[in-house]
């Protein structure tokens, strides 16, 4: 058997080789589907009959908003878009109790379920998607209204819904107002707030929170989720938007094997026992029965929201966050605007739900480097050379 010194030297060389592969070959960033198409989590809805939820004017609604990004890549002014929309909703007696940036809601597997639980607890029954987007090369807007079933999937594929796409913002709500009048709904929403209420946080951490790494990682097995393919129905309701959703989903699915190969290469630098798992097939409790004690998770949203979800202290006056990154020449720092989209990894203990973040903020602009940063910090803190 090789001695401990030989094993450590081998691990160090492995990590250096992974760094060289990623930084020298210039592996491209993980490509997410367009935010303006990520409608309620890739749901292929049925817009043919333009059906509004029956109780739209007597129950609560939540609004998912997306705005075109700024020139520097930071998220656009989605709150200004929400404020304009809220005035129309209020006049129509649509009780929009909460506004979210769509990327915050779909920022990760755990965060999505936390947001869905938040909506269900507050008895939200309708979901509204408002996007500033490009319509045939011209800035335009999309508005979609559909019922929320309170379940993790939000709604089934084929759910009947209402949709409008216009180049003029006001025109969206003129058409919605006509549709509401035509539906002859019972009106019970009268106590509606004057201004929109914005939310970017959800109860993500249910156990204890640690800004370090658990020593038990040296002994217990870590589950590393594979990238999974988006499920596209064999037959979905005919619509140009559904066709675009399917096209982007197929493009993403075609790259999943490549992403998983990169994931395999990066994780080869992890110094302890781990295995790859499919979280679409098995729940954390099942993984624990198979010997896994920890799961590696990731959040992809703005730096400000990611820190909020992970219970970091954030000052409203902060404009940039400093991240510690790995590199061929050793650790360095990277400064990014607080509203710039980033990836942040963390490790969760399955039984206790305790979360381990690492002692340094190590987020990065693509998932590969964010994972490298996380592994570099883990190796350093746990004494692996």
pLDDT less than 70: residues of the chain: 1-35, 327-329
pLDDT at position 84 is 97
> Which helix (H) or strand (E) element contains residue 172?
helix 169-183
pLDDT at position 72 is 86
pLDDT at position 32 is 46
pLDDT at position 183 is 94
pLDDT at position 329 is 58
DSSP structure class, residue 70:
P
Q: Rounded CA gap, 248 and 31, in Å?
A: 11
pLDDT at position 39 is 82
Q: Which residue has the tokens 């650790």?
A: 331
- What is the location of CATH 3.40.50 in the chain? 35-183
Q: Rounded CA gap, 223 and 292, in Å?
A: 6
pLDDT at position 2 is 43
Q: Which two tokens stand for residue 318?
A: 């902060």
For the structural domain made of 35-183, what CATH number should be given?
A: 3.40.50
Give tens-digit pLDDT for 209-227.
Answer: 999 999 999 999 999 999 9
pLDDT at position 34 is 66
Give tens-digit pLDDT for 38-79.
Answer: 788 889 999 999 999 999 999 999 999 999 999 888 899 999
Residue 164: closest CA among 145, 138, 139, 183: 145
Threshold 0.95, pTM exceeds: no
pLDDT at position 16 is 53
Q: Rounded CA gap, 284 and 118, in Å?
A: 21
Query: Which residues have CB under 8 Å from 187's CB, separation 6+?
Result: 57, 58, 93
* Whether 382 contacts 217, CB under 8 Å: yes
């Amino acid at each position: 058997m090789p001695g401990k010194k030989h094993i450590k030297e081998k691990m160090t060389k492995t990590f250096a080789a992974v760094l060289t592969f990623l930084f020298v070959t210039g592996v491209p960033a993980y490509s997410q589907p367009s935010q303006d198409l990520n409608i309620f989590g890739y749901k292929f809805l049925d817009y043919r009959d333009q059906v509004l939820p029956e109780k739209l004017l007597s129950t609560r609604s939540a609004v998912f908003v997306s705005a075109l990004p700024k020139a520097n890549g930071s998220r656009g002014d989605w709150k200004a878009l929400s404020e304009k929309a809220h005035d129309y909703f209020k006049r129509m007696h649509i009780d929009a109790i909460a506004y979210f940036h769509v990327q915050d809601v779909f920022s990760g597997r755990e965060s999505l379920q936390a947001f869905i639980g938040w909506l269900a607890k507050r008895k939200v029954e309708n979901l509204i998607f408002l996007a500033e987007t490009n319509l045939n090369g011209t800035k335009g807007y999309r508005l979609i209204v559909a019922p929320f079933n309170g379940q993790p999937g939000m709604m089934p594929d084929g759910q009947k819904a209402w949709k409008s796409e216009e180049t003029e913002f006001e025109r969206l709500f003129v058409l919605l107002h006509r549709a509401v009048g035509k539906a002859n709904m019972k009106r019970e929403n009268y106590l509606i707030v004057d201004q929109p209420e914005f939310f970017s946080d959800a109860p993500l951490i249910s156990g204890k929170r640690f800004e370090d790494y658990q020593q038990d990682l040296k002994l217990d097995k870590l589950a590393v989720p594979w990238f999974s393919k988006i499920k596209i129905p064999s037959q979905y309701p005919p619509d140009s938007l559904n066709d675009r959703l399917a096209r982007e989903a197929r493009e993403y699915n075609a790259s999943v094997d490549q992403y998983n190969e990169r994931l395999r290469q990066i994780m080869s630098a992890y110094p302890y026992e781990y295995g790859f798992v499919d979280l679409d097939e098995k729940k954390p409790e099942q993984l624990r029965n198979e010997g896994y004690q920890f799961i590696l998770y990731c959040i992809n949203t703005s730096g400000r929201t990611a820190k909020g979800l992970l219970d970091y202290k954030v000052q409203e006056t902060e404009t940039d966050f400093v991240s510690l990154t790995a590199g061929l020449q050793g650790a360095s720092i990277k400064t990014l605007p607080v509203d710039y989209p980033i990836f942040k990894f963390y490790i969760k203990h399955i039984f206790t739900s305790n979360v381990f973040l690492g002692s340094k903020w190590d987020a990065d602009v693509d998932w590969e480097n964010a994972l490298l940063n996380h592994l570099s910090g883990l190796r350093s803190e746990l004494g692996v050379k």
